[in-house]
Chain A
Amino acid sequence: MISRVAGNCFWLNRYMERAGSMARLLRVNRAFVPGVDLPQLSRWHPLIVVAGEEERYRRHFGEDEDGETVQEYLTWDRRNATSIVESVRWARENARTARETVSSEMWETINSLWHWLQGGPGRRLYRSDRDHFYQHIRQMGELFHGQADETMLNGEPLAFMRLGRYLERAGQTARLMDVHYHTFPDEGPIDDPVRLAQWWALLACCSATEPFQKRSFGTPTARDVVSFLLFEPDLPRSVSHCLRAARHALVHVRGFGSNRIGMVSTALMEALLSHLALREGHALVGDELHEELTYLVDSVTDLCTSIEQEFFQSTELQTRILAEASSAAAQQ
């Protein structure tokens, strides 16, 4: 498929994943904050960190971390490249540019979500029933990903969509955990009620509350939660599951191609997965966990950069392939 369009598919899904995940995060935090007695800094600040927006936020709002300001910023602010409205906008731009590749069902979903956010209805619901507002966005995200699987040919475009979706998701889960790692006690059950609430919120942010309850009994330990979110192969948002799904998509994509394109990305992907496999079963806590999560986030970023260069921005590589082919032909 056309390199640029493959990039559109990849980014379209990253942006939709990002929008849905931000909506989930905001909704969970709205439910979590009133229930616990937390220092101001621990209420809304972590969300700004997860969004990677600390610096810009401080530039605009200084020390004001009032819940309303943060929600407004993370939902609507056009200056914030990761705000929901911006994610949806860029998702739609990518879909528009790859309109002939994206299924009509997906296009209609994303188009109506965009118009809903842009027009009155979205704003009105934001004011009158915010939980419902965030839930709607989350559901549209889920609908979108479901439609991708249900309405697209199981070919290369879908593989790039999945690649984008799962890499984004792996990064998200790692970043979410990283914001909370310092609250994890090293050993034993989590018995402090505030911390416990934070943990449950973390699980909820990863849509992992009910799955976790099905796998773990009684008061959870740090080790349980960490290994569940990192390694559980059956959890749709665990880092391990996401990376495996991403690898599957990458293999699918390379199956269509020459060996030349995607070589580096595949090597990076394999390295990351074997690294993760080695960590499995180890108790990761404290600084060690932080280091591990930082490594994961950075590796996923590197992988995405490599995919971008090899598959989407590939002029140099493509010209080289042709030049080599013609010089090989000349030699014969």
Chain B
Amino acid sequence: MMPAELEQTVGLAGDTTLLDGYAPLPRTYDELFRWDGSPREEVAELVAELNELGRAEFMTRQKLAEDALFRGGVTFSVYSDARGQEKIFPFDLIPRVIPAAEWATVERGLIQRVTALNMFLSDLYQEQRILAEGRIPKEVVFGTAGYLEKLRGILPREGVFVNIAGIDLIRGAQGGFLVLEDNLRTPSGVSYVLENRVVMKRVFPRVFRRSRVRPVEAYPARLGDALMSVSPRPPEESRIVVLTPGPYNSAYFEHSFLARQMGCDLVEGSDLFVHDKHVYVKTTSGPERVDVIYRRIDDDFLDPAVFRDDSALGVRGLVEAYAAGNVSLANAPGNGVADNKAVYPFVPEMVRFYLGEEPILGQVETYICARPSECDHVLSKLSEMVVKAVDGSGGYGMLFGPRATRAELDEFAEKLRADPEGYIAQPVIELSTCPTWVDGEAAPRRVDLRPFVLTGKTSWVLPGGLTRVALRAGSYVVNSSQGGGSKDTWVLEGPPT
């Protein structure tokens, strides 16, 4: 079907409307509806448009969208065997909408936070002023994986450690955005933002056009600019590559997508080699210098000469070339120390320390189990807490108190007592919901948001980001590995000036 035909179809007579009877959850903020069930002012028109479509038509388009994503190979998930278990990242057509004014604040807050995190890393790998002045306890920084003493004294070009950040935001019951987690190593998901948008425009051309949504298409070019700005050689001589662990990595689609969109080469570790502290890529016309590597493999695997020597993914001698200033790595190695869960509670302190400002974005109250008094508090309220392993990610290794059985709570309490340094705890946040199409009707499902911040000489925030949605009723876990899906995120244009 062509978009032109799509525009003419409207809901059939007698066909129930899409969002009628949608009931937001009690004590929970809904992205599109007020507590009384009426649409929020800025989305009233969108809701009317969706209602006009009707259920049957909506389902046709949902199918169309899924087919398009599958055909295009916009898939995730690891091959469990060579036969290839690929799935599309489930995509929900009802968009998540963020009004212009609210986004403006988020944008400033994100830039502020990323700036402070960059300054923190820069400080930590040089003078360590923030530790000397006692603003962050030393044991928090050195006690967790992520800090790489070997890299102390090496400063990336422009002093930027975090060129690409993915800052996970959630909305609590009061509606304000809170930072849940910083991803400063190899945050993924942006390809879904771009692909979802393409599909959305195709299946909802009219709704989309009328909503005045800020475009996301500039991302690859902006990423290219940010990477180029840290090249050791002039742009016209520079070669940028994207380094992937390979096609069996779950985010491989994204690696290849970004390389394609930026017009640069996608390489694997075996394509690169180091000669005389310079990095080269093997090409069909001989070795060629590489200046900037957007690497999507973890620190541990980057260079077998420095980190894990069993790594077949990395490049021997890469860190030496980086230290010599002959190649830029984005993101810089060693960032893990700034985005782990033990350091998270101190980010507001970084903002105050380095910038002399109050943080614009709030974050979730966090108990540091390494502190005996806080650990006792957590243990006494375990059933109301989310407890996370400091080194865990992807929703693994955590306890979700309200959902755990007595036995599970007891078992977790044991683990916590045995290794308090390994955990932090947070009160349960009632994540905001957004209407989501499940089993033939729109139902409230919890969402988060991962905006992306690019930093070269300056910072830029992609309008919107990846909205992930927990598709299971009542679930708070939005990770794609655990039954999460995604939505297009619409940041609306401000009023014409």
Contacts and interface: CB of A to CB of B under 8 A. Distances in A.
A108 interface: yes
Main SS at interface, chain B: mixed
A2 B273 contact: no
A104 B257 CA distance: 11
A5 interface: yes
Contacts of B280: 318, 322
Contacts, number: 92
A100 B259 contact: yes
A96 B284 CA distance: 20
Interface band, chain A: 35 or more
A261 B73 contact: no
Interface string A158-182: 0010000000000000000000000
A201 to B, nearest CB: 34
Contact of B282 (A97, A160, A262, A315): A315
A322 B287 contact: yes
A96 B256 CA distance: 9
B72 A4 contact: no
Contacts of B265: 1-2, 5, 100
Contacts of A258: 285-286
A322 B275 contact: yes
Contacts of A89: 82, 84
A219 B83 CA distance: 49
A256 B280 CA distance: 18
A100 B266 contact: yes
Interface string A99-114: 1100010011001100
Interface in B41-77: 70-73
Main SS at interface, chain A: helix
B133 interface: no
B268 interface: yes
A321 B287 CA distance: 8
A326 B256 CA distance: 34
A93 B282 contact: no
A6 B82 CA distance: 22
Interface in B234-260: 246-247, 252-253, 256-257, 259-260
A253 interface: yes
Nearest to B270: A4
Contact of A2 (B247, B276, B282): B282
A314 interface: yes
Interface residues of B, number: 32
A321 B283 contact: no
Contacts of B72: 104, 107-108
Contact of A4 (B82, B253, B282, B287): B282
A233 interface: no
Contacts of B84: 89, 118
Nearest to B72: A108
B256 A2 contact: no
A257 B271 contact: no
A322 B274 CA distance: 10
Nearest to B259: A100
B180 interface: no
Contact of B284 (A6, A321, A322, A323): A6
A4 B271 contact: yes
B378 interface: no
A257 B282 contact: no
Given A2-B282, A99-B256, A253-B284, A111 B71 contact: yes
A258 B268 CA distance: 23
A99 B246 CA distance: 11
B10 to A, nearest CB: 31
B281 interface: yes
Contacts of A261: 284-286
A321 B273 contact: no
A256 B286 CA distance: 10
Contacts of B106: none
Q: Looking at A93, A100, A318, which has the most chain B CB atoms within 10 Å of its CB?
A: A100
Nearest to B265: A2
A231 interface: no
Nearest to B272: A2
Contacts of A17: none
Contacts of A311: 284
Contact of A318 (B73, B246, B266, B282): B282
Contacts of A5: 265-266
A3 to B, nearest CB: 4
A115 B271 CA distance: 30
Contacts of A96: 73, 247, 252, 256
Contacts of B284: 1-3, 6, 156, 160, 253, 256-257, 261-262, 311
B121 interface: no
Contacts of A97: 246-247
A151 B246 CA distance: 25
Interface string B151-175: 0000000000000000000000000
B267 interface: yes
Interface in A81-131: 89, 93, 96-97, 99-100, 104, 107-108, 111-112, 115, 118
Q: Looking at B71, B273, B285, which has the most chain A CB atoms within 10 Å of its CB?
A: B285
B282 A100 contact: no
Contacts of A104: 72
20 contacts: A1-B283, A3-B283, A99-B73, A99-B256, A99-B257, A99-B260, A99-B266, A100-B257, A100-B259, A100-B260, A107-B72, A118-B83, A156-B284, A258-B286, A261-B286, A318-B273, A318-B280, A322-B276, A322-B287, A326-B276
Given A96-B73, A156-B284, 6 more contacts: A2-B284, A4-B268, A89-B82, A99-B253, A108-B73, A318-B287
Which 3 residue pairs across A and B have the least CB separation, nearest first?
A: A257-B285, A100-B260, A99-B256
Interface of A: 1-6, 89, 93, 96-97, 99-100, 104, 107-108, 111-112, 115, 118, 156, 160, 253, 256-258, 260-262, 311, 314-315, 318-319, 321-323, 326
